[in-house]
Amino acid sequence: MTMQISILALLVFLLTLTRHQHCKSQVVVTDNDLKYGASYIFGDSLVDAGNNNYLSTLSKANIPPNGIDFKPAGGNPTGRYTNGKTIGDIIGESLGQPHFAVPYLAPNTTGKALLYGVNYASGGGGIMNATGRIFINRLSMDIQVDYFNITRQQIDKLLGASRAKDYIMKKSIFSITIGSNDFLNNYLLPVLSIGARISETPDGFIDDLINHLRDQLMRLYKLDARKFIIGNVGPIGCIPYQKTINQLKENQCVELPNKLAIQYNVRLKNLLKEMNGKMAGAMFVHADVYSLVMELITNYAKYGFTTSSRACCGNGGQFAGIVPCGPTSSICSDRNKHVFWDPYHPSEAANIIISKQLLQGDPKYVSPISLQKLRDL
């Protein structure tokens, strides 16, 4: 862990600890509060619900027109990197949870809110601590697990140790969407810059990713997490940014990023199979996000989209893929017709289709069981 990230983690830890001191047993928790279970979300900008709003970082989405279709906030930006709901929001809602998982760093993430779900995801974050340092600040997966450890202790205070353990093990789902930045904002950065490519082969870097992720999943398991859904890396060579800077045609994708994603995804699936065989009482569900998104990109018209290449919100180049979404960006008139909201992230319409597949359990995309069955375990 870099010294910079360690200091940031310590400062936020101390602030959070002070802020949450009142989360003690005087809060009355009823059975109804625990009825729907909790969603604990880890990952990057694909599922960040606003943590980066509270960081001094270059990676932020709390500016319009981001969130223009997010009705709970009246169409105002919340820090979500899309026009509406993220996959994490949609899945939690579909599983019957009455509240969205709140950003961990938000000041209202206290008391009973911890029992409904917490979002630890951070735009620019990755499995490796060095990933995303071009953004200055972000929460790596290691730090996100550190923060869940704090939440776990607070839940003990709210429920008592025995009841808390039962709630975490039986009624809580742990969703992890991470890995894209480890390639886009680490390994694939220019060799003469700060990317890991200067010192590691693709095989060596992917070995490091898998070993780090294994350790992170083990840490969550030791904190009583038992129900996991882990997404693989999508077709990052097909995002509008990559298509634009490489001056590709509409039906083309950049080969190297996709090749690395596929290589990592094979290893991830094997890791989850290994952990399902070894970790007593746990279920690790594999979400094939790569195949789901590639299906939308390839057959976009079948799903009601008019383009899977051009960003709805962005500027620059054929696919509006160079300048991130912001107040000066051009914006499409029908946001439901674009697979991509901005140069990097899916639209809410795409997120809804992806979430539906994961919930209903087509074994082509989610295995060994669906998210609905995972909830009912």
Print the SS3 string covering 346-369: ECHHHHHHHHHHHHHCCCCCEECC
One of 44, 182, 288, 342 is an active-site residue; which one?
A: 342
Give me the residues paired with residue 102 across strands: 118
Q: Is 342 a catalytic residue?
A: yes
> Which token pair is 194?
């700060």
- Contact call for residues 371 and 284 (beta carbons, < 8 A): no
Alpha helices for the chain (secondary structure H): 3-19, 87-94, 113-116, 141-159, 161-171, 180-182, 202-222, 240-245, 255-278, 289-298, 348-360, 371-376
Distance from C-alpha of 60 to C-alpha of 45, rounded to nearest angstrom: 9
Structural tokens at position 11: 């400062």
Among 288, 345, 347, 370, the one annotated catalytic: 345
Q: Evaluate whether 164 touches 156 at the Cβ level (below 8 Å).
A: yes
Q: How many CB atoms lie within 10 A of CB 2?
A: 11
Active-site residue, selected from the candidate residues 45, 122, 347, 370:
45
Q: What is the rounded CA–CA span in Å between residue 31 and residue 249?
A: 56
Q: Is 20 a catalytic residue?
A: no
The yes-or-no answer on residue 156 being catalytic is: no
Q: Do β-strands 283-287 and 117-119 pair in parallel, antiparallel, or remain unpaired?
A: unpaired
Annotated catalytic residues are 45, 342, 345
